[in-house]
């Protein structure tokens, strides 16, 4: 087993490291694990629209995977955390984005309702595992 290599996503990842002292991703051999990604921009601002927040979270997952040398095509498992239950737009948006970002495979998925996330205004957080073949 090789030594873990940690990655910081440029922009929001640098701020998270400075403020909270954590990395956005770790790679060990061909396995990449990422920290949960919210629908924030580089200033940790969250869109008012739940759909836009989920879409931005997917873009942040993509940015973080790229930082560690992976992409959506390598994702095998998704954990998603949701505040406020599961209104129809949650599954509709998640499913649409799965089909967009992973058109050639369907990952395994664990979806969990939670009371709160890392920032008070967050309603979604997405964490993935990727295997680079």
pLDDT digits 0-9 by tens, 4-20: 999 999 999 999 999 99
Q: SS3 for 94?
A: helix
Question: In b/e form, how buried is each residue of 43-60, taking b as 16+ CB within 10 angstroms?
Answer: eeebbeebeebbbbbbeb
First CA to last CA distance, the chain = 16
Handedness of CA 80, 69, 20, 54 (dihedral sign): negative
The parent domain of residue 126 ranges over: 5-131
Q: Which CATH number goes with the domain that contains 28?
A: 3.30.1330.40
In this predicted structure, the answer to whether residue 1 has a pLDDT above a threshold of 80 is: no
For range 118-129, the mean pLDDT:
96
Q: How confident is the model at residue 92 (pLDDT cuts 50, 70, 90)?
A: very high
In this predicted structure, the answer to whether residue 133 has a pLDDT above a threshold of 90 is: no
pLDDT digits (tens, 9 = 90+) for 38-87: 999 999 999 999 999 999 999 999 999 999 999 999 999 999 999 998 99
- What's the structural domain count of the chain? 1
Give the position of tokens 């499913």: 95
In this predicted structure, the answer to whether residue 119 has a pLDDT above a threshold of 80 is: yes
Return d(Cα 59, Cα 11) in angstroms, integer.
Answer: 13
For range 106-117, the mean pLDDT:
97
């Amino acid at each position: 087993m090789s030594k873990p290599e940690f990655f910081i996503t440029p922009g929001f990842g640098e701020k998270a490291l400075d403020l909270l002292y954590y990395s956005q991703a770790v790679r060990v051999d061909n396995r990449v694990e990422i920290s949960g990604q919210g629908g924030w921009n580089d200033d940790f601002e969250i869109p008012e629209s739940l759909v836009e927040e989920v879409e931005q979270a997917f873009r942040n997952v993509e940015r973080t995977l790229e930082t560690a040398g992976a992409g959506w095509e390598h994702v095998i498992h998704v954990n998603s955390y949701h505040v406020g239950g599961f209104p129809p737009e949650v599954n509709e948006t998640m499913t649409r984005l799965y089909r967009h970002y992973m058109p050639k495979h369907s990952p395994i998925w664990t979806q969990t309702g939670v009371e709160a996330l890392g920032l008070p205004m967050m309603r979604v957080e997405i964490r993935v595992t990727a295997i680079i073949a």
